[in-house]
Chain A
Amino acid sequence: MTIRRIPPDGTHRSLGLTDDEYGEIVGVLGRPPTDVELAMYSVMWSEHCSYKSSRVHLGRLPTEGRRVIVGPGENAGVVDVGDGIAVAVRIESHNHPSAIEPYQGAATGVGGILRDIFTMGARPIALMDPLFIGSLDDARSRYILDGVVRGISGYGNSVGVPTVGGQITLDPTYKGNPLVNVFCLGLMHADHLVLGRATGVGNLAVLLGSRTGRDGIGGVSVLASAAFGEAGSGSEAAKRPSVQVGDPYEEKRLIEACLQLLDEHLVVGIQDLGGAGLACATSETAARGGLGMDVDVTAVARREPGMSAVEVMTSESQERMLAIVTPEALARVQAVCDRWEVRATVVGRVRERDEDGVGRLRIRDGFDGEVLAEVPAASLADDAPRYRRPIAAPTDLAERRAFDPGLLAAPADCGADLLELLVDPSWIYGQYDHQLFLNTVFAPGAADAALIKCAAPGIEWTGKALALSADANPGWCRIDPRLGTAATVAESALNVACAGGTPIALVNCLNFGNPEHPEVMWQLSEAIDGMAEACTALGIPVVGGNVSLYNASEGVDIDPTPVVAVVGLLDRLDRRPPAIGWVDGDEIVMLGRTVPVLGGSRWARSVRHHVDGELAPLDLSEHARLVELVAWLVAAEAGGEPEAPGLVSGIHDVSDGGLAVALAECAVAAGIGCMLRGVSSHLELFSESPSRVLVATSRAPELVRSAFAAGVEASVIGSVGGDRLVVEGLVDLALEDLLEARQANLSGVLERRAAAS
């Protein structure tokens, strides 16, 4: 057997590997790597694929729970929801591709997350997209937002998976480095679970879907694992060939074909091809199966002539899956794929471990041809170096925390400041299909969380529903990544509860700056600790995650942006539960209590451009009681009883923008105003202190008693009526003003600029 070798000529550096990492590869192989081997290590050991900077910290997250079937480490987390049904969930970032080509970056982000879900055997039924873009006064940010929304719309709608929720944050910190995170939830019969494992010596590795082209070569190592705009890293134009192009029609047929293959039990393992392409899928399946694999690189169907083995193995061409099938099942697999017009090609064979007990991945030029690469599969998949990178809190932390926005001059007109904070995101979600599958009870914007029936084609509805919320708050996390992240988890759990769901699982996407900066590693480590504390206190297991580092531009790191998505379960959905809004004549009860602190608030950040101070404290045991109470109150309205108890007519948590924005959103949703007394100052009005919910009710004394019985503070703060939002002494605005400002601040800017430009 001959192995082609290349001398250590420094190529590894241009592929993103350090000299030490190159040395480690030589150590693993006992010889210098071939070009194919070097390319595979460079993508598999990239930050994006290997989590080499974050892995030592991620172990601190709580991942176990009685419903957890599959935790972190697989393509998606899987959670039991009863009745033999399980949900698969995952969230991922597609930040760097979206910065370069917003439409395709976002579109292929959607495509990738869908494959992570259906590779588990689950039908994707819901997407959510948290977006973080620079302010809209910047032309490029407007272009990026427009392109990203079109990309999600173009791909998600066409592939036939509804986008039921999301989040939009417009903030200068994302100007050079937007964040596009995509979340997907799928539904499956629990006994249909299939993992990405290559088992059974002699079984075949079958590549499904698109032909392989030159798109996205080295995307994970070039795009997602190095700082943007740094000297030597090349201009955006130079990186553009690494962008992949999505084909939702191919993906739709791939989904249907794969779900049929899994339904008919025709595959023993299956894995999507995402970052690092075939190198990743073959090495990971082999490593998880504890076996070896031979891959014939010439068998891979190509989109263009003259592609090298390196290009074929590392291409990130979209809409491809690798299925492991028995030789006996191959004919039927081929027939199913033919029906859906999906290409299926045998490209590899599962083989025994070698005599030394190591399962090796061999890439060959023809099944019996020259060996182009021969590496221990686990060394690619699992043995990337793990870095304990230096951690340091910012030196000016104490000063920054002392610089409290509560000390700024009070607004001359609180109403004017409130108008600045209102945003109507319907311009975004109105471009997404959010209704497909007839599951959507709470569409985007209706409530604090999306609420969807727990049903899918092939999975009968048993009366349950799922509440979904995706949340992040860079303002909080910049000030205090630990408390800010804990508060983000707390808010997400409360959002889900406001839609009647009891939180059962969480996935996270940790978007941070350059991990070679000790301050960024401090932010990441703190955020993970804050998430662990909140998840533990609230009893929510973390079932999956994604880490996106090197989010920076021109050397400036983004503010820490840990995104969490919480899934809640509602056991019985007979009626639409109350949502954001209220009914004329209701009283407004606040559950919880306002702490008048403005650190991290959107008022401080957006209106006063003040990003320092301290966050209000978070009492996690108090918060857990609130979440339980709210979920119980809303669930009672949704079902179970013969008729709704009628204690709650509208509900909305208080978070981003504080009490003022929460009131405005309820007033706009209902088309009715309100009158509040006893709000002492703008601190109380715009504070974002945690653990607060507004409840509209016609039976306030009963509600307050229930709250006290549950150990939750509650007080009547105002009443519903009229056509103005009035907070005595602070705010007096007509409903039309609220509507107009909401519209003007997002769609107004985008459509006006589009017309003018």
Chain B
Amino acid sequence: MRFAVRVEVRSLEGIADPEGQTIERALPALGFRGVEAVHMGKLFRFVLEADSESAARATADQMCSRLLANPVIEQADVWVEPLGADASDEPAVGRSA
């Protein structure tokens, strides 16, 4: 089975996020009121072949701890969604030729 996987990596709670803070300071100057808790992170999207949704999730979790995130400073959230057989269901991003 094929799964669309999305991984979001951001700073661990309690670790300073100067980019997020800079953006948070910039937004009010542009007229956006009421913004708080801005965090900047990384987003990964890819398609994964796996036997089951839980297997896909387990593989993605391993990818996070080994490569995609640095556990000393970052945390990762993983979303997994089954893909239909039709290739057109694939997300546009995350496909490398």
Contacts and interface: CB of A to CB of B under 8 A. Distances in A.
A717 B90 CA distance: 77
8 contacts: A303-B97, A304-B97, A305-B97, A754-B22, A755-B25, A756-B29, A757-B26, A757-B29
A693 to B, nearest CB: 44
Contacts of A303: 97
A305 B97 CA distance: 9
Interface residues on A, range: under 10
Interface in A282-326: 303-305
A302 to B, nearest CB: 9
Interface in B47-97: 97
Interface string B22-62: 10011001000000000000000000000000000000000
Interface of B: 22, 25-26, 29, 97
Given A305-B97, A756-B29, 6 more contacts: A303-B97, A304-B97, A754-B22, A755-B25, A757-B26, A757-B29
A755 B26 CA distance: 8
A756 B28 CA distance: 10
A756 B29 CA distance: 7
Nearest to B22: A754
A754 B26 CA distance: 8
Contacts of A754: 22
Interface in A702-757: 754-757
B58 to A, nearest CB: 31
A305 B92 CA distance: 13
A303 B97 CA distance: 8
B53 to A, nearest CB: 31
A572 B1 CA distance: 70
A675 B25 CA distance: 46
Interface string A530-567: 00000000000000000000000000000000000000
A719 B75 CA distance: 62
A211 to B, nearest CB: 9
A699 to B, nearest CB: 53
Q: Which 8 A-B pairs have the closest CB atoms?
A: A757-B29, A757-B26, A756-B29, A755-B25, A305-B97, A303-B97, A304-B97, A754-B22
Nearest to A301: B97
A301 to B, nearest CB: 10
A203 to B, nearest CB: 30
A303 B29 CA distance: 39
A757 B97 CA distance: 41
Interface string A43-54: 000000000000
Interface string A207-218: 000000000000
Nearest to A756: B29
Contacts of B97: 303-305
A755 B29 CA distance: 10
Contacts of B25: 755
B14 to A, nearest CB: 24
A298 to B, nearest CB: 16
Contacts of A755: 25
Nearest to A757: B29
Nearest to A211: B97
A103 to B, nearest CB: 15
A243 B53 CA distance: 41
Contacts of A756: 29
Contacts of B26: 757
